[in-house]
Amino acid sequence: MTPRPDIEVVVFDILGTMVDEPTGIRQGIRAALPGVDDATTGALADRWYRYVDEQQQEVLAGHRPYADSTVIDREAAALVAAEAGVDDPGVTGALAAAAQRLEPWADSVRGLDRIAAHFPVVGLSNASPVALTRISAHAGLRWHQLLSAEAAWSYKPDPEVYRLAIRATGCEPERLLMVAAHAWDLRGAQAVGMRTAYVERPVGDPPSPADSFDLLAPSLDDLAALLERDV
């Protein structure tokens, strides 16, 4: 089949879109803190996510100097360990490492390879380069190019992060398709002129009635089929 002729490169969010970050964090908490029950595990995972989001927002607002995701994840891990009553650097290290051992969704590897047969595929993530290398290796995700928001000293949805993909590929923004399970991420891509594709995942940020993305797909396999369809 013929790929869509108006798209030259497909850019993917990774955390939540290609890998199951929430489950990986919960599993890391259970492994590092074996005495913690399921309810506490869930509460600690939520605390981790709130902290990471708060710190990224502090960076975006200019209230905190840039710190990469590896630094912020380790801070979150230390916070979680402390709230569980554990003061052990080994436990903190084990918790932080869990953020880089995330399983792919069932269709991620297959769908990515299928799309990569027709288009250059680029990963664009808020994760640091170190984290991205380990996450992609663990999950078996093969990229033509991998870009970290660290290169912009910022985090999505800062427009400068999306412009990393525009500059790296040498394409006009409307020739780039941003794929994500997070509507906020796609809105950020739209703001710099990129095309957008929402892929449903059990986690993420679904589109609101006000959103208008170019493609909507219930899975990465379905997105691959849409991209292969001759228009």
69-97 pLDDT tens trace: 999 999 999 999 999 999 899 999 999 99
Please answer whether residues 18 and 112 qualify as being in contact, where contact means their C-beta atoms are separated by less than 8 angstroms. yes
Closest listed residue to residue 147, CA positions, set 56, 13, 20: 13
**Sheet of 145-148, strand order:** 145-148, 121-125, 9-12, 176-180, 195-199, 215-217
pLDDT of residue 229: 81
Residue 35, pLDDT above cutoff 90: no
173-207: per-residue pLDDT in tens?
999 999 999 999 999 999 999 999 999 999 989 99
pLDDT of residue 125: 98
Residue 28, pLDDT above cutoff 90: yes
Would you call 65 helix, strand, or coil by DSSP? coil
Task: Kindly state the average pLDDT of the residues 25-41.
Answer: 94
Residue 145, pLDDT above cutoff 60: yes
pLDDT band per the 50, 70, 90 thresholds, residue 109: very high
47-55: long-range contacts at Cβ-Cβ below 8 A with a sequence spacing of 24 or more? Answer: 47/76, 47/79, 47/80, 47/83, 48/76, 48/77, 48/79, 48/80, 49/22, 49/25, 51/75, 51/76, 51/79, 52/76
What kind of fold does domain 21-98 have according to CATH?
Answer: DNA polymerase; domain 1 (1.10.150)
Task: Kindly state the average pLDDT of the residues 53-60.
Answer: 97
Would you call 49 helix, strand, or coil by DSSP? helix
Number of alpha carbons in the 13 Å side-chain half-sphere of residue 145: 17
Strand partners, 178: 11, 196
| Ranges of each domain in the chain | 9-20+102-228, 21-98
pLDDT band per the 50, 70, 90 thresholds, residue 231: very low
pLDDT of residue 4: 62
Report the chain's mean pLDDT, rounded to a whole number.
Answer: 95
pLDDT of residue 1: 40
- Whole-angstrom Cα distance, residue 195 to residue 191? 10
Task: Kindly state the average pLDDT of the residues 122-151.
Answer: 98
Strand partners, 51: none
Strand partners, 177: 10, 195
Please answer whether residues 205 and 182 qualify as being in contact, where contact means their C-beta atoms are separated by less than 8 angstroms. yes
Task: Kindly state the average pLDDT of the residues 25-42.
Answer: 94
pLDDT band per the 50, 70, 90 thresholds, residue 2: very low
Which helix (H) or strand (E) element contains residue 121? strand 121-125
Give domain 9-20+102-228's CATH architecture: 3-Layer(aba) Sandwich (3.40)
